[in-house]
Structure 1
């Protein structure tokens, strides 16, 4: 009998992810990346990126074929984030940018 075992490994520190972990996809200067991280390292990544994301502008994604994909927020996700944030004690305006801190909290809750 032959048994094949596949392990997910944290790409940053090499630890075996026994209880899941997460794959984070991101883009920088026109190149797309994905990285498998433990929950702790994923949190570190999100905290490190938060000030840059907060200062940046969201853009609609594109595939390599150039066909435009709908943005994540096109489906009313912004309204859902605002509603959730306001009901959970975050200060969020009815319009404008939503901070990375609020977005991260929303993502963790869902």
Structure 2
């Protein structure tokens, strides 16, 4: 007994089958999120036409894909957007005011909020 496995690509937009060689896998990014969509040729043409004016007006960014932009200032390199010095001041203040805070790592939002309220 023989078995034949058939792989069929489906257009992500309209759910119709994509004939071999007549579709496109389109990768794009929007607001920091990467996307991929498989489209039949007609829908790929519609996609191209829809984004064309935006692509023509945009500045092309070269470099590694998915790489995040670096912080504008080395002082604001933490996830909280605060400098290392400010984070250390928060740790010092928290320790003196009865909060448990590790010498390194993330500081709880409630501690940062309390620090902000006190200053």
**TM-score computed with the length of structure 1 as normaliser:** 0.54
How many pairs are equivalent? 66
Equivalent position of 1:3 in the other structure: 4
Deviations, residues 13-63 of structure 1 (Å, cap 9, x unaligned): 011112321101100011111110011100000000011111110001424
**Where do 4+ consecutive residues of structure 1 move more than 6 Å?**
none
**Aligned equivalents of 1:65, 1:59: Cα separation in 2:** 11
SS at match of 2:17: coil
Structure 2 gaps of 5+ residues are 69-119
Over 3 Å counting, the alpha-carbon distance change for 1:33 and 1:61 in structure 2 is farther
Pick from 41, 60, 63 the counterpart of residue 62 of structure 2.
Answer: 60
Over 3 Å counting, the alpha-carbon distance change for 1:4 and 1:19 in structure 2 is closer
Larger radius of gyration: 2
Pairwise CA RMSD: 1.7
**TM-score computed with the length of structure 2 as normaliser:** 0.50
**Aligned equivalents of 1:16, 1:29: Cα separation in 2:** 30
